[in-house]
Amino acid sequence: MKLNYDLNLLRTFHALYLEQNVTRAGERLHLSQPSVSAALGRLRELFKDPLFIRDRQRMRPTETADHLFPVIEAALTDLDGLITSERDFSPATEQRHFEIAANDYFEVLILPALASVLREQAPGITLQVRRLSQDMSEAGIMSGTTDLAFGRQVDPPDNLVVREVILEGIECLVGNEHPLLERLKGNGQMTRDDFERYAHVLIQPHTRLKSGIFKQLESQNLKRKVALAVTYFMAVPALLEGSSLIASLPTGLCQHFRRQFAVTPVAPPVAFDAFPFHLSWHHRYQKDPAHRWLREQIIACCLPLSVQGELT
């Protein structure tokens, strides 16, 4: 039996499942609240199930909706991929807006080079960088509403494609007037006692995952006395200038800050392992030619920052 149904109903179901709110689903789809409510009524008739039940502040999915969601999402992803893969693409004429969830490592070290590429090759492509939040679903990564995420990924969901783009080292950074530098003149080496005696600036991770330096300190049994905790890498160098504080940062940032501020990189007292940064995106964008082109440009901008000079 051939069924007649509106494909847009499946997109409405997908938005309702992700948002669990009629108003927000409408905003995602650029539809009015009455239009979404009407579509929900048709969906309930189609599937012979309430699908979403009002529960305080949200529309709670039924068991049937939970069963349908991965099937419908996979179908929409395949359909989107089929359509976008057949579309002609030229960077010079493309008119497209992309959202990237990232931290200020990306904004400081990668975005300037990427912006230069866009100005020269794709002036119609615009970017918005959003803060990578504690929850990937909040950042829109798992639903595909955010185009790309830059940061560490551990045990990502199945609907994400993850590519390692940078393998970074860790160095310590101090102000140029730090008392430690006088002793380190020549071939001096920071000791564990130095590291533990002086107070530190902590960069608080923006995800629930502990950052590379957190895990490294634990594995090396190295203590850190935290005097200040900040949320941005860019806040660090001004705090180090003229103080006896120490910060432990990715090598690329240390080298960048030494050119901009009165700070000096110092080798840590123990050998830290390199740690990765990842670029990740929803499966639905895998074959999108404009998305693929942008990914390739970001990866090329990341290449010089890797401590090994190559990507794994």
Domain with CATH 1.10.10.10 in the chain: 7-85
Nearest Cα residue to 43 out of 51, 35, 31 = 51
Q: Give the domain 7-85 fold.
A: Arc Repressor Mutant, subunit A (1.10.10)
Residues 190-226: tens digit of each pLDDT = 999 999 999 999 988 655 445 567 777 888 888 999 9
Alpha carbon distance, N-terminus to C-terminus of the chain: 50
According to DSSP, residue 303 is labeled: G
CA angle 98, 99, 105 (to 5 degrees): 120
96-167+276-305: which CATH topology?
A: D-Maltodextrin-Binding Protein; domain 2 (3.40.190)
In the chain, what percentage of residues exceed pLDDT 70? 88
Average pLDDT over residues 263-276: 90
Where is 121: in which H helix or E strand? helix 111-121
This prediction's pTM: 0.72
Residue 144 CA to residue 90 CA, distance in Å, equals 23
Question: Phi and psi at residue 126, in whole multiples of 5°?
Answer: -115, 155
Give dist(CA 93, CA 95) in Å, integer: 6
Q: Which candidate, 173, 163, 219, places its Cα nearest to that of 195?
A: 173
Residue 125 has pLDDT above 60, yes or no: yes
How many residues are recorded in the chain? 312
Q: Which two structure tokens, joined as six digits, stand for 182? A: 């006088």
Give the mean model confidence (pLDDT) for residues 4-9.
Answer: 76
Q: Where in the chain is the domain with CATH 3.40.190.10?
A: 96-167+276-305, 170-273
Q: What angle do CA 208, 102, 124 make, to 5 degrees?
A: 155
CATH number attached to the domain at 170-273? 3.40.190.10
